[in-house]
Amino acid sequence: MIRFLLKGLLNDKSRSLLPVIVVSIGVLLTVVMFCWLKGIIGESLRMNANFNLGHLKVMTRAYANDEEQMPNDLAIMGSDKLVTELKTDFPDLDWVERIRFGGLIDFPDQKGETRAQGPVVGWAIDLLSPHSRERERFNLENSIISGRLPAKPGEVLISDLFATRFQVKPGDIFTLFGTTMEGGMAFKNFIVSGTIRFGSSALDRGAVIADISDVQLALGMNDAAGELLGFFNTGNYDNGKAISITTAFNARPNTKNDEYSPIIVSMRDQAGMAEYLDYVDAIGSVMVFVFIVAMSIVLWNAGLLGGLRRYNEFGVRLAMGEDKDHIYKTLIYEGILIGFTGSVFGTALGLVISWYLQSVGLNISGIMKNSSLLMPLVARAEITTAAWYIGFIPGLFSMVLGNALSGIGIYKRQTAQLFKELET
């Protein structure tokens, strides 16, 4: 039966060509949009995790209450010892110390007078240790615009947009004005080793990357860190493991009433990320549902037109004694064949376009100039395992549904009218 139907579809192009093209286009759009949205959302999640959230974050209870203000006076004391304990208790994660700070940087002229000043937001990370993965997380190797990465204490990176604005070049010296952990004024000279472009307008407007030992010295934070971030060694966030770790760590006795005791917060529980992660999970299902509805309407109309054209064909088949149920079933089988064929072509073309968007990307910096969100300026697609089969859901379902709806007309044919119709 399937072989017979396949020959019929191949020989009658007017019956199969248009539906195959429609299904292919719908599946192509489904695959491309799915991969593109996955890429944008996934890259945004990675940037937020690498820069601010981690997969797990350790803070003091007091620091967590005012986290957005970066209150380093409420930082974790004895951070080196705590990191050692965390690595022992939870070896599946890479634990790192971080200090986020704000301040004012002053660039002097040749006479030592102020030439330019500007506010910055800084990240103190482990830049100089040979086994540190912090450079990789911040993508520093590929983000250098001019100069080089810091190679010794006292050297920092600044955003290229900020450097261009104040006419700063590698080798220039500036003074950082900040606040110590004890609330006093902090002054420290740094050398600009290079400029970088983060790929996020929220960071490129003014950011500094420094080695954590330099910042600890400048801010009077010896053996202290504002945050300890944990990253799963797999590179992907695992909510189940994160929940078990936070539950075990935060349930320790004699710490709940101490505002300086450390707690662990998962990425999902930070900065509204729970809603964001739920959105990531739901976006694929919503998109597929929309395409199923839209394609079903289109293919329903196409099926109705095809049914009208085949009105006499159904009548002849009924007159020859073919059962209505059998005709209806063959129409469904035709829908499966057409849907499968269109889904194969549409998925193949969609993956090719998605691969291009994954490799080259689409520059969206023009609409992100004034954005404060931590989003990539180049939107790239991401081909996942689901991309290989997700197009078959609307492709097959909508075609079968369209044929099923249009095929209802078969049951409305009256056998008594067939010979009169055939005579005319």
Tell which wins on pLDDT, 128 or 424: 128
Total count of residues recorded for the chain? 424
Cα distances (angstroms) measured from residue 162 to each of 44, 205, 281, 300, 319: 22, 6, 36, 56, 81
Same-domain pairing of 69 and 178: yes
Domain with 287, as residue range(s), is 2-47+275-423
- For the segment 252-297, what is each residue's pLDDT rounded down to a tens digit? 765 566 788 899 998 888 867 777 777 766 776 776 677 667 766 7
Same-domain pairing of 65 and 22: no
Provide CB contacts within 8 A for 224, sequence distance 6+: 72, 75, 76, 77, 78, 79, 181, 216
- For the segment 317-343, what is each residue's pLDDT rounded down to a tens digit? 666 767 777 777 877 887 788 888 888
The pLDDT assigned to 125 comes to 92
- For the segment 38-65, what is each residue's pLDDT rounded down to a tens digit? 787 777 778 788 888 889 999 998 898 8
Q: How far apart are CA 162 and CA 192, in angstroms?
A: 12
Query: Which residue carries 């597929």 as its tokens?
Result: 288
- For the segment 350-400, what is each residue's pLDDT rounded down to a tens digit? 999 999 888 887 765 554 444 444 455 567 788 888 888 888 877 787 777
Say which amino acid occupies 143: S
Same-domain pairing of 339 and 389: yes
In a domain, 245, yes or no: no
Q: Considering 236, 263, 283, which residue would you say is the last residue of a domain?
A: 236
Tell which wins on pLDDT, 11 or 102: 102
The yes-or-no verdict on residue 2 having pLDDT over 80 is: no
The pLDDT assigned to 372 comes to 43
Same-domain pairing of 131 and 198: yes
Per the prediction, the chain carries an average pLDDT of 80
Query: Whole-prediction pTM value?
Result: 0.70
Question: Considering the chain, what percentage of its residues have pLDDT values greater than 90?
Answer: 19
Same-domain pairing of 306 and 331: yes
Same-domain pairing of 42 and 84: no
In a domain, 257, yes or no: no
Total number of domains constituting the chain: 2
Same-domain pairing of 40 and 60: no
In a domain, 368, yes or no: yes
Contact at 8 Å (CB) between 250 and 263?
A: yes
In a domain, 157, yes or no: yes
Which of 30, 39, 106 has the alpha carbon at shortest distance from 395?
30
Same-domain pairing of 181 and 144: yes
What is the 8-class DSSP label of residue 246?
Answer: H
Same-domain pairing of 98 and 206: yes
